[in-house]
Structure formats: structure tokens, C-alpha cells
Amino acid sequence: MNRTPVVFIHGTWLHALSWESWAERFAGRGFLARMPGWPGEPAAVREMRTSSERLAGMGLDVLTDHYAGIVRSFETAPVIVGHSVGGLIAQHLIGANIGRAAVAIASAPINDIQLPEPPGRLWAPGRAVGSQELVSLSPEQFHHAFANTAAAAESDRLFERYAVPTPRRLIADLGHTGAVRSPRTVVDVGNADRGPLLLVSGQEDLLVPDAVTRAAYKQYGDSTAVTDLKQFADRAHSLVIDSGWKFVADYVLGWLEERGLRAYPA
């Protein structure tokens, strides 16, 4: 019997390895768990920190097409689980009827929803929109803006294991630095034929505030397709990797079960 695939899509400043615990837990429940990296992403975090030039200049269009091809490659339509930019891609794909269902966790904003400037000036202003540079976070910036609800020691451990540079082009595609947002941020929120969608937020998230996720949920209000919202109190943008990740993962597993999205389809 074919197992239901689950494709995990990571976001900015994290390596695909950030899904390792989720993939193990979903596989333990019978799902076919896959966590493919970005195009050209090195297999090791350390290698990506030292030789990630191949990712410089990568934009949202390339990432979206990359994951659309992966999702379409399965014989059984997968569930798509994305975090941050991965959550945006998950919404874009399910809105285009690509995939069986989607979970968007602390998703980058869709359509005309605006993302506030991040704390700590995570990237230098005044750069050209088309810059090919990569943007890195220091351990202090990561703790302040990304893992702000974690203790310093835990944040440092997460940084060492998962944190990597991200393309400035991708940041620009999301509308930062005064750039025009990519058309791939547009999601068909009115599609009544798509699969179920779960939006998840952390109420202490400084990078993608809870208000951004609630605004997205409101945009889906006129669609008859299933759209659910789950807010986690006292959780930051690191909610998929910090010590509370299991609570989020188990909620997603429970939601899939409630929606009839089982590891072994009938």
C-alpha cells in the first residue's frame, strides 16, 4: 500500500536539516517523509555556511518551481508542510491545486499583507534589489529575532545546528528593502477546490507576527475550502526547531487525522 508523502519545505536562515525531528516523527506514524533542500543547497550546514555562493541570487520563483516539481513527482499527492518562506510556497502550491493538503507555519505574508520590518536590522538597508549577496545572522541576531522565547544556550545550540545564510534576492522578493514583491507571493485564496489548509502561528514571533497569519486566515474567509488556524502562545519563529517542536508537530499530525489525511489512504 502506498504511503502518503509529506514534503517539508524550510524557510530563510534554516537548512533542510531543520526538519529532521519532524521527518522522524511523521515517518514513525507511517508517512513517507521527505525534506528536500533548496536547489543547490549543500547537504551539510557547515558546507552551506562556507560555500553557499550557488544560492546567491536565488529568488522565490526558482524555489516555488523547484518544490512544485517535487510535489508533482509523487504517485500519491503529498501533504506539504512549510515554515516561513516554505509556508508561503505551501500556500501558493495548494492554491494552485498542487498537493493534497498544506500546513503553513509562521508563513511569510501572502498577497497584499505587509510584513513589518524585523527587529535588530537583520539586513543592511540601501542595497540594490538585484544584489547577489547572501545575508547571514549572528548568534545574537538569531536569538533576538528568531529564537526569542528560547534560553540563550538553546538558541546557540539551534544556531550551530541549523542556521545558514539566505539570499538577499529572496528577501527582496518578499517586499523588503523597498523592492517590488514577487508575483509568487500571490495566492489564490478563493479556490474552493483545493485541499485542506492549516495556518499556524507563534504569538511571540517577531519575524512573522501572529497578526500576519491572522490576516492571511481572514483572506481565506470567502472560500468554502477547509482553512483552519492554530495559534501557539509563547512561541517564536523557532517553533519548528526549539524544545517545543513536538507540540506543534503532534498538533499537525492530529489535524491531518481529523481531516482524513492518513498515512495509509483507504
Q: How far apart are CA 8 and CA 20, in angstroms?
A: 10
In the chain, domain spans: 5-258
pLDDT digits (tens, 9 = 90+) for 81-118: 999 999 999 999 999 999 999 999 999 999 999 877 76
pLDDT digits (tens, 9 = 90+) for 131-165: 458 899 999 999 999 999 999 999 999 999 999 99
Q: Are 179 and 79 in contact (CB under 8 A)?
A: no
Q: Are strands 134-135 and 166-167 parallel, antiparallel or unpaired?
A: antiparallel
Q: How far apart are CA 28 and CA 17, in angstroms?
A: 17
Find all residues with CB under 8 Å of 35, minimum gap 6, and list them: 7, 8, 10, 16, 17, 19, 20, 22, 23
pLDDT over 80 at 121, yes or no: no
**Residue keyed to cell 555562493:** 53
Q: How far apart are CA 98 and CA 14, in angstroms?
A: 24
Q: Give me the percent of the chain exceeding a pLDDT of 90.
A: 80
- Domain spanning 5-258: CATH 2.60.40.1180: no
pLDDT band at 50 (very low <50, low <70, confident <90, very high): confident
Task: Look at residue 10 in the predicted model and tell me its pLDDT.
Answer: 98
Pick from 60-64, 101-105, 177-181, 213-217: least confident:
177-181
- pTM attached to this predicted model: 0.94
